[in-house]
Amino acid sequence: MTKKMVEKITNMDEDFAQWYTDVVTKAELVDYSSVRGSMIIRPYGYAIWERIKDALDTQIKETGHENVYMPLLIPESLLQKEKDHIEGFAPEVAWVTHGGDEKLAERLCIRPTSEVLFAEHYKNIIHSYRDLPKLYNQWANVIRWEKTTRPFLRTLEFLWQEGHTCHETEEDAHEETVKMLEVYAEICERLLAIPVVKGRKTEKEKFAGAKYTYTIESLMHDGKALQSGTSHNLGTGFAESFGIEFLNREGKLQPVHQTSWGFTTRIIGAMIMVHGDDKGLVLPPEVAPIQVLIVPIAQHKEGVLDAAYDLHHSLKSSVRIAIDASDKKPGWKFNESEMKGIPLRLEIGPKDIEEKKVVLVRRDTGEKIQVENEKIEAEISRLLKEIQENLYNKALGHRISKTAAAVTMDEFTGNLTKNGGFINAMWCGKQSCEDQIKEQTQATSRCIPFEQEQLSEVCVYCSEPADKMVVWAKAY
């Protein structure tokens, strides 16, 4: 029997929060820094972010956007210009008050988001309908002074992209808002194997300063929801506050219609909590920095390492493959590759070499498959596709099993207590009902999903007429 060489992690069902902390640290995704709530993203964690970033950046460019870079610091007077926006962000803003020894005449905020910087810039460069649309995106870090923090999910500083666009018409801005939500949904579902619910945020939950906010929501293993990406139609609010006007096709001055949309390192936390298990991380092959790890067995024996390196050499152009030729015992290497969520392990030892075959082991199911040498490449490709699909289907099955419809508050609280997950319920549209539901159940409205069902004629809380179904959940 193989001795467990890697320190055991907490079981998910025992203590999900501790399990999460164990995974992010022991899979070497992050380390804590000396500033509370800040994280060091280690090479393996950063490699995952780079794969997400590359895929999303490609989509952003293919949909016609250009990357720019805005300054880190925002003068207080600029941040104050849009009233709703500053009200929404003020409690989380970090301020720079001194330059060297000297107190600054005006405080500078470290960007929590960059709407106002883009607005100021757009005012300077947009004059005519010929200057539109402006489709800008930036990759950056931002700071939000959060009270409680957890690696990836909520940190003082995080990485993201923020898109900021200007359009001639309301319809163009709406189309952009929908388009970028679809791009985010694609990245979640195709790359990260995370099924999402698409919908619109309620007025209470929308972005500060937006006309409306679209969101994708996903469900974690523990039955809590996570907002996974948002796309805002800003209307003309910022344009009016900042004076971003253009001469339209009729020769009249009018404000631009704007959007903004963001996707962050938070999604790595979602991926961990959707796919992980008691052995650690489980990475979807599309996003895994290493898709196959070769583990030589009895590597001190003649010919084993040579055969392992030959395999590595012949496969590296078709798959992201690495080899662990360290002097650790194979059992240790198995546990490490499981902790790190590597989708496939390839074992090769003296007996395999003699029989002209290898053993492939799936991370998602633990299944062991013997493969003849000439079929290795095709089999790896097939298995990686199958693992990707399996992870998505498993996550979707989990979400379906944890989604319940509630017509009364008894059903609402009963299901939420028993099962967690998403609760679908009708809502009258009054914020007071939304507030009361949150107060009584700790569940927040996640979104008004695009795919609606008329579950009943009345609001689950106040029994007044209701025509909107809302998805509710406890959320990260």
H-assigned helices in 169-327: 170-186, 237-242, 266-275, 304-315
Looking at the Cβ atoms of 268 and 470, the one nearer to Zn ion is 470
- Residues 261-280 within binding reach of Zn ion (CB under 5 A): none
CB 149 within 8 A of CB 156: yes
Smaller CB distance to Zn ion: residue 208 or 462? Answer: 462
462 part of the interface to Zn ion, by CB under 5 A: yes
Instruction: For residue 85, give the H/E element and its range.
Output: helix 83-89
Contacts with Zn ion, 370-409, as mask; x by CB under 5 A: ----------------------------------------
Q: Give the shortest CB-458-to-Zn ion separation in angstroms.
A: 8
Q: Using the rule CB under 5 A, is 459 a contact of Zn ion?
A: yes
Structure tokens at 189: 């579902």
> At its nearest, how many Å lie between Zn ion and the CB of residue 88?
24
DSSP H or E segment with residue 83: helix 83-89
Nearer to Zn ion, 246 or 427 (CB): 427
Residue 373 per-residue DSSP state = G
Select from 433, 443, 469, 473 the one that contacts Zn ion (CB under 5 A): 433
Candidate segments 73-81, 217-225, 301-309, 420-428, binder of Zn ion by CB under 5 A = 420-428
Applying CB under 5 A, the span of 47-55, 168-176, 235-243, 456-464 interacting with Zn ion comes to 456-464
Q: Is 461 in the site for Zn ion (CB under 5 A)?
A: yes
CA atoms within 13 A on the CB side of 327: 0
Q: Which amino acid is at 121?
A: H
In whole angstroms, the minimum distance from the beta carbon of 111 to Zn ion comes to 38
Closer CB to Zn ion, 122 or 461, in the complex = 461
Q: Which is nearer to Zn ion, 254 or 413 (CB)?
A: 413
Q: Among candidates 116, 385, 49, 307, which has minimal Cα distance to 39?
A: 49
CB-nearer residue toward Zn ion: 39 or 428: 428
C-alpha–C-alpha distance, residues 165 and 282, integer Å: 36
User: Rounded to whole angstroms, how far apart are CA atoms 126 and 431?
Assistant: 38
Chain centroid to Cα 96, Å, comes to 29
For the bound state, the minimum distance from the C-beta of residue 433 to Zn ion, rounded and expressed in Å, comes to 3
**Shortest Cβ 462–Zn ion spacing (Å):** 3
Is 379:317 a contact under the CB 8 Å cutoff? no
Q: Are 129 and 251 in contact (CB under 8 A)?
A: no
Report how far residue 190's alpha carbon sits from residue 188's, in angstroms, rounded to the nearest whole number: 6
End-to-end CA gap in the chain: 40
Question: Is residue 470 a contact point for Zn ion (CB under 5 A)?
Answer: no
CA–CA distance from 190 to each of 7, 185, 284 (Å)?
33, 8, 10
The distance of closest approach from Cβ of residue 340 to Zn ion in the complex, given in angstroms and rounded to an integer, is: 48
CB of 466 to Zn ion, least distance (A): 6
Query: Is 247 among the residues that bind Zn ion (CB under 5 A)?
Result: no
Report DSSP letters for 93-107, one per residue: -EEEEEETTEEEEEE
Cα 274 from Cα 282, distance rounded (Å): 9
Q: Taking the complex as a whole, how short is the minimal distance between the CB of residue 404 and Zn ion, in angstroms?
A: 19
> Residue 171 or 435: which CB sits closer to Zn ion?
435
Name which of 401 and 432 has its Cβ closer to Zn ion.
432
Shortest separation between residue 437's beta carbon and Zn ion, angstroms = 9
Site for Zn ion in 153-192 (CB under 5 A): none
5 touches Zn ion by CB under 5 A: no
**DSSP type of residue 322:** E
SS3 state at 18: helix
Residue 464 DSSP class: S
312 or 430: whose CB is closer to Zn ion?
A: 430
412: contact with Zn ion by CB under 5 A:
no
Between 178 and 462, name the residue whose CB sits nearer to Zn ion.
Answer: 462
Give the nearer residue to Zn ion in terms of CB position, either 236 or 436.
436
Q: Binding segment for Zn ion among 31-39, 187-195, 333-341, 462-470 (CB under 5 A)?
A: 462-470
Stretch that binds Zn ion, among 54-62, 121-129, 434-442, 452-460 (CB under 5 A): 452-460
Q: How many residues bind Zn ion, per CB under 5 A? A: 6
Query: Which CB atom, from 358 or from 459, has the smaller least distance to Zn ion?
Result: 459
Q: DSSP letter string over 432-460?
A: HHHHHHHHHH--EEEEEESS-----SB-T
Smallest gap, in angstroms, from Cβ of residue 430 to Zn ion? Answer: 5
Neighbours of 78 (CB within 10 A): 18
The one among 425, 428, 437, 471 contacting Zn ion by CB under 5 A: 428
Least distance from C-beta 409 to Zn ion, angstroms?
A: 11
Of 38-46, 80-88, 202-210, 455-463, the segment contacting Zn ion by CB under 5 A is 455-463
Distance, CA of 280 to chain centre: 19
Please provide the DSSP assignment of 30-74 as one string: EEE-SSTT-EEE-HHHHHHHHHHHHHHHHHHHHTT-EE----SEE
- As a whole number of angstroms, the distance between CA 342 and CA 322 comes to 10
Binding site for Zn ion (CB under 5 A): 428, 430, 433, 459, 461-462
